[in-house]
């Protein structure tokens, strides 16, 4: 359509402007910044960084939204006269690229086999079919989920992922080499960012891993430092682990489950005293149910054990019987728990599950058990339908004295014979078992009177279920409340009343009971992921207990250093971000930093390990400051920089000298001049002034960033500010390649132009909540920018026809004042990094002020000086957001230098009186418009008469004087003020006016809340009649009336006066009549 062609023409105009601007910036090296030479003036600097994106694909709008905050900050601080630097690296460390390359290799092998169909695969499929048939016949055997041939194919979609990025088919096989990813994607990312117009100094770019020998040397130095500072240690630790990769799976190696950690339990051994028929083949073995608990100290109160008899839909539940590390012992648990146990040394071989047989959940009901610590023997297994086989072992021990779920489930079975009959539960398994008091807590009901003392109870679960009126085990919401209360009170205020640790606080007893049970071989330590975690290699992760090097985050003194920095010196821009850091610091502990394989730097003192991706990315911002001296050209460090430094010459002494003011390195092969230049660059640019990132990195990377700076650098080099944001939605939906709701950076620039996209990114949102990039907003931005270009081009050719001379008219003074006010307001928004508000103040509101000025100027026309000021100010204020547009307009304004050399507009002071007059005019127009529309609905309106009052009526003046006296005394208007207002002696003469005086006073108090003390003024400090009279033509047009008369109150016509008596004119609030 013509309209479609027109819209593309507008976008294409912006893209043409964009290309011209980028060409100029490249030629002028606009963003290449060097530290000032020693001894010369050092201007204030602004050094910003953004977490280097991972190079396993193209940059998309998710990356772009976060990095746009960095870019907008760069533009603003540059306008404010600071020397600004933004370097940009590319992260390649870790498993994601390795996993993707491995998946592609499997895809290609699978595709080959599908085409040529080898005999081996046919045999494997036939074998798998046979196994499945056998499994159908024998339910004690697990069913294979896929054939062996299919299993070999792995995830099976990496080829399609690469194809979806428009990578030529003939190129895709090269991606089986992980190093090829490092060569392919970074240059594309750089080009896409250049087309966005980012202010990056590309000389300072690099890729990570030992492919880049210079960066590799820097990371080795960092880890030597951490080890010497005793921040790194070695030992067995629980970690999320990928069985297919056979190594730890850190946050950035995961497809899902980022931030999920190990949850530690105690597995209680509950020995079966008499084996049922279903378990007869285990005769001669010690067979135990393993129940996972977080509360070992409560085991004294066990009265029974719970198992899941069947799924909610009635289908069978299967438990496995597995060999454990204890000879002759068989443990009954769910399959998922067995898999985790195998990687924690709880089975005969690491990583190997030895299943002897399977048993149905229903066949485990009614087993007699010997359980540790409880005085009851035997206790019995009973059915519970709320057990999840995806959490714990599928076996749950029951302590009804202190666990509301256990209490209510036991009461249901005790009180409901039909329920017992349904599951074949004999009375003797349930009825004789009473609650065992084990922990005494001070319990206070939620509805207890304020100040009431709590009552002591040793049956907290019973008391809580009664308080919250729990009727059955299906009352989930009430049980959640009861559980939260009893668990919290039990742990923090409970005292043991039984056992070897009687009288001891629960907090102390917990670990002692655990240690005792482990020592007596009545329990195992166990852990599993808090939630499901999937590795990028496509398998579900487990928790493994492995030997590893780990960084000792959470160490008390180290943590205190970081907490003090957070509270005293770090600007987080929002309370939410700060509180998220506080939370992360409160729980973050030891972090495994070594991996068996993957891309990265080898641990310098133990080269069988690779440093993982969240550990080689904590202080690399320092490397940015001088890396352009070390290498140039390709990102991999293959071309030495101008000084010809060789990576192997970067010894620990050299790094100490540059980064820590260490002693002069002896016999260094690095020229002294180069050392001094690197040191100068580092000392000028460091610390990081602003780090921008998604909020999801607070729980790992950003907190590591603070920890490592605190450990390695002196305080003067610790980060100054961190600004986080939420995720970005695309058209109010989560971005997803699978649903097609996805946009790469390149696609967005092509569709909307760089400035159209940037405009929409700025408006998408600024807080930690999810932002929304909207197609309609980006399209509207194209229209806004091109419309404004037309206004600018037309206005600049017509300046000589516009009015000149003094700014005497109210409309001129007011517009000038609005420009000043909105430029200052936008300045404050930018300073706070509130970019959405910056656009609203510096573009939308500024244009509204211009549009109103243009309309009010009407036949007399606009003032040339003001229009030029408006264009200049708007161009500069929007430059951080839309730099290509601003570059073009800056040239139209006659400036020879780039807008990148311009400074924030200097404007005059804001006149508060003019602001009030403007607000009065807008409010009056809005009020009269509403009244005109109402009158017009009844009859035609040709004339409006506006009445302006010089003073209030006597009773109004008395009321305002009373209100002002309250404020002058520093008192406030409490809830009873209005009720008692007529008791003021000054209002005694006006009792007859009470019905109108009270609403007037209430209105005036509301106005005071909004406007301050001016709401109680007896006169307004400007001439209302003149203000309105000067704008008669504008008002007539806005109200669509033929005539407007502005006159003094009261009306001479008694009928009009009577008609307006309920809404008389008062100072600052005209009345109006129509004819």
* DSSP H or E segment with residue 898: none
CA dihedral 754, 759, 760, 761 (to 10 degrees): 80
What's the whole-number mean pLDDT along residues 392-405? Answer: 95
pLDDT tens track for 20-74: 999 999 999 999 999 999 888 889 999 999 999 999 999 999 999 999 999 999 9
Mean confidence (pLDDT) of the chain = 91
Q: Considering just the CA atoms, what is the radius of gyration of the chain in Å?
A: 37
* DSSP H or E segment with residue 946: strand 943-948
What's the whole-number mean pLDDT along residues 456-462? Answer: 94
Q: Which of 22-26, 126-130, 179-183, 484-488 has the lowest mean pLDDT?
A: 126-130
CB 720 within 8 A of CB 689: yes
End-to-end CA distance of the chain: 48
- Rounded Cα distance between 602 and 223, Å, is 10
* DSSP H or E segment with residue 524: strand 523-529
Residue 380's alpha-carbon distances to 6, 271, 273, 324, in angstroms, are: 79, 11, 10, 23
474 phi and psi angles, rounded to 5 deg: -90, -5
Res. 136: pLDDT tops 70? no
What's the whole-number mean pLDDT along residues 541-568? Answer: 95
Q: Which of 448-452, 753-757, 836-840, 957-961 has the lowest mean pLDDT?
A: 448-452
CB atoms within 10 A of CB 844: 13
Q: Which of 107-111, 124-128, 791-795 has the lowest mean pLDDT?
A: 124-128
What's the whole-number mean pLDDT along residues 138-149? Answer: 37
Model pLDDT, residue 113 = 81
Can you spell out the DSSP letters for 447-515?
Answer: TSPTTPPPEEES-HHHHHHHHTT--STT-HHHHHHHHHHHHHHHHHH-EE-SSTTTTSBHHHHHHHHHH
Model pLDDT, residue 903 = 97
CA-closest candidate to residue 535, choices 980, 96, 77, 1075 = 96
Model pLDDT, residue 39 = 85
Residue 524's alpha-carbon distances to 212, 264, 509, 624, in angstroms, are: 45, 11, 18, 48
**Beta-ladder partners of 232:** 551
User: Where do runs of H (alpha helix) occur along 298-349?
Assistant: 335-342
CA-closest candidate to residue 441, choices 398, 494, 405, 515 = 494
Query: How much of the chain exceeds pLDDT 90, in percent?
Result: 71
Q: For residue 970, is it left (φ>0), alpha (ψ between -120 and 50) or beta?
A: left
Of residues 450 and 706, more confidently modeled: 706
Model pLDDT, residue 598 = 83
Q: Which of 111-115, 183-187, 994-998 has the lowest mean pLDDT?
A: 111-115
Tell me the pLDDT band of 450, cut-offs 50, 70 and 90: confident
In the three-class reduction of DSSP (H, G, I as helix; E, B as strand; rest coil), residue 967 is classed as helix
Q: Mention every residue, 6+ apart, whose C-beta is less than 8 A from residue 978.
A: 998, 1001, 1002, 1005
Res. 155: pLDDT tops 80? no
Model pLDDT, residue 122 = 55
Q: Mention every residue, 6+ apart, whose C-beta is less than 8 A from residue 1068.
A: 920, 1017, 1020, 1024
Res. 800: pLDDT tops 90? yes
Hunting for tokens 């690399």 — which residue is that?
Answer: 620
CA-closest candidate to residue 576, choices 726, 704, 763 = 726
Tell me the pLDDT band of 252, cut-offs 50, 70 and 90: confident
CB atoms within 10 A of CB 335: 16
Res. 144: pLDDT tops 50? no
CB 606 within 8 A of CB 797: no
């Amino acid at each position: 359509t013509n309209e479609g062609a027109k819209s593309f023409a507008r976008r294409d105009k912006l893209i043409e402007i964009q290309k011209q601007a980028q060409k100029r910036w490249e030629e002028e090296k606009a963003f290449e910044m060097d530290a000032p030479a020693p001894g010369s003036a050092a201007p204030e600097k602004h050094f910003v960084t953004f977490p280097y994106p991972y190079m396993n694909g193209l940059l998309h709008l998710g990356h772009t939204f976060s990095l746009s905050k960095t870019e907008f900050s760069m533009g603003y601080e540059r306008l404010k006269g600071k020397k600004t630097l933004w370097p940009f690296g590319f992260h390649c460390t870790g498993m994601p690229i390795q996993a993707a390359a491995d998946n592609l290799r499997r895809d290609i092998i699978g595709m080959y086999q599908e085409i040529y169909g080898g005999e081996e695969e046919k045999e494997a499929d036939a074998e798998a079919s046979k196994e499945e048939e056998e499994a159908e016949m024998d339910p004690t055997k697990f069913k294979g989920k896929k054939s062996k041939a299919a299993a070999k194919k792995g995830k099976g979609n990496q080829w399609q992922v690469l194809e979806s990025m428009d990578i030529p088919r003939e190129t895709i096989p090269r991606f089986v080499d992980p190093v090829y990813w490092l060569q392919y994607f970074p240059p594309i990312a750089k080009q896409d960012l250049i087309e966005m117009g980012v202010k990056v100094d590309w000389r300072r770019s690099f890729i990570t891993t030992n492919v880049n020998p210079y960066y590799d040397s820097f990371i080795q130095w960092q880890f030597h430092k951490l080890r010497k500072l005793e921040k790194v240690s070695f030992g067995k630790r629980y970690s999320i682990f990928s069985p297919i990769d056979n190594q730890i799976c850190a946050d950035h190696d995961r497809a899902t489950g980022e931030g999920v950690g190990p949850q530690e339990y105690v597995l209680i051994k509950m020995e079966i005293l008499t084996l049922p028929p279903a378990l007869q083949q285990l005769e001669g073995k010690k067979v135990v149910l393993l129940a996972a608990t977080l509360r070992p100290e409560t085991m004294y109160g066990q009265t029974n054990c719970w198992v899941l008899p069947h799924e909610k839909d009635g289908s069978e539940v299967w438990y496995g019987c597995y060999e454990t590390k204890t000879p002759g012992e068989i443990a009954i648990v769910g399959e998922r728990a067995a898999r985790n146990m195998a990687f924690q040394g709880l089975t005969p071989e690491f990583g190997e599950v030895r299943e002897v047989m399977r048993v149905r959940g229903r066949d485990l009901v009614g087993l007699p058990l010997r359980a540790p610590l409880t005085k009851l023997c035997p206790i019995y297994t009973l059915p519970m339908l709320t057990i999840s086989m995806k959490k714990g072992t599928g076996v749950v021990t029951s302590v009804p004295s202190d666990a509301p779920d256990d209490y209510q489930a036991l009461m249901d079975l005790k009180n409901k014979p039909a329920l017992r009959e349904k599951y074949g539960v004999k009375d003797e398994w349930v009825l004789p078992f009473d609650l065992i008091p084990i922990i005494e807590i001070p319990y206070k009901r939620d509805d207890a009177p304020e100040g009431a003392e709590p009552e002591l109870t040793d049956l907290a679960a019973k008391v809580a279920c009664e308080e919250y009126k729990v009727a059955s085990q299906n009352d989930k919401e009430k049980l959640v409340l009861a559980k939260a209360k009893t668990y919290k009170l039990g742990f923090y205020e409970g005292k043991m009343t039984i056992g070897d640790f009687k009288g001891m606080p629960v907090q102390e007893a917990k670990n002692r009971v655990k240690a005792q049970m482990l020592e007596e071989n009545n329990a195992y330590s166990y852990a599993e992921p808090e939630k499901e975690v999937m590795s990028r290699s496509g398998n579900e992760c487990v928790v493994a207990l492995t030997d590893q090097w780990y960084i000792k985050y959470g160490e008390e003194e180290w943590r205190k250093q970081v907490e003090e920095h957070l509270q005293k010196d770090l600007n987080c821009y929002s309370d939410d971000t700060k509180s998220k850091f506080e939370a992360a610091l409160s729980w973050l502990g030891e972090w495994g930093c070594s991996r068996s394989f993957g891309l990265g730097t080898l641990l310098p003192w133990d080269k069988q390990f690779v440093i993982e991706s969240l550990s080689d990315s904590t202080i690399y911002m320092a490397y940015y400051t001088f890396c352009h001296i070390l290498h140039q050209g390709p990102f991999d460090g293959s071309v030495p920089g101008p000084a010809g430094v060789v990576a192997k010459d970067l010894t620990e002494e050299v790094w100490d000298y540059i980064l820590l003011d260490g002693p002069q390195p002896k016999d260094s092969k690095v020229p002294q001049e180069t050392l001094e230049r690197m040191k100068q660059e580092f000392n000028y640019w460091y610390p990081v002034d602003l780090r921008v990132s998604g909020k999801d990195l607070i729980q790992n990377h950003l907190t590591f960033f603070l920890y490592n700076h605190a450990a390695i650098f002196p305080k003067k080099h610790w980060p100054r500010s961190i600004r986080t944001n939420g995720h970005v939605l695309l058209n109010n939906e989560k971005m997803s390649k699978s649903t097609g709701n996805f946009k790469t950076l390149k696609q967005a620039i092509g569709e909307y132009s760089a400035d159209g996209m940037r405009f929409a990114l700025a408006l998408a949102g600024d807080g930690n909540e999810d932002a929304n990039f909207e197609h309609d907003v980006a399209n509207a931005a194209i229209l806004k920018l091109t419309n404004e270009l037309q206004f600018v081009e037309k206005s600049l050719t017509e300046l000589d026809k516009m009015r000149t001379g003094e700014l005497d008219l109210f409309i001129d003074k007011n517009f000038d004042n609005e420009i000043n006010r909105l430029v200052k307001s936008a300045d404050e928004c930018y300073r706070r990094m509130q970019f959405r508000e910056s656009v609203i103040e510096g573009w939308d509101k500024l244009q509204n002020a211009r549009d109103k000025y243009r309309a009010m100027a009407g036949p007399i026309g606009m003032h040339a000086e003001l229009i030029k000021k408006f264009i200049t100010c708007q161009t500069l204020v929007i430059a951080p957001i839309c730099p290509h547009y601003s570059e073009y307009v800056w040239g139209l304004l006659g400036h020879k230098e780039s807008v990148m050399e311009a400074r924030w507009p200097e404007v005059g002071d804001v006149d508060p009186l003019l602001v009030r007059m403007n607000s009065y005019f807008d409010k009056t127009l809005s009020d009269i418009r509403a009244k005109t529309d109402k009158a017009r609905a009844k009859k035609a309106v040709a004339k409006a008469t506006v009445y302006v009052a010089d003073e209030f009526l006597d009773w109004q003046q008395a009321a305002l004087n009373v209100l002002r006296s309250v404020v002058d005394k520093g008192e406030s208007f409490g809830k009873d003020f209005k009720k008692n207002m007529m008791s003021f002696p000054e209002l005694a003469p006006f009792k007859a006016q009470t019905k109108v005086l009270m609403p007037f006073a209430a209105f005036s108090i509301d106005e005071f809340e909004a406007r301050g003390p001016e709401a109680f003024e007896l006169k307004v400090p400007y001439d209302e009649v003149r203000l309105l009279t000067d704008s008669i033509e504008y008002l007539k047009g806005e109200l669509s009336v033929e005539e407007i008369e502005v006159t003094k109150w009261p009306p001479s016509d008694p009928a009009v006066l009577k008609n307006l008596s309920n809404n008389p004119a008062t100072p600052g609030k005209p009345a109006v009549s129509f004819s």
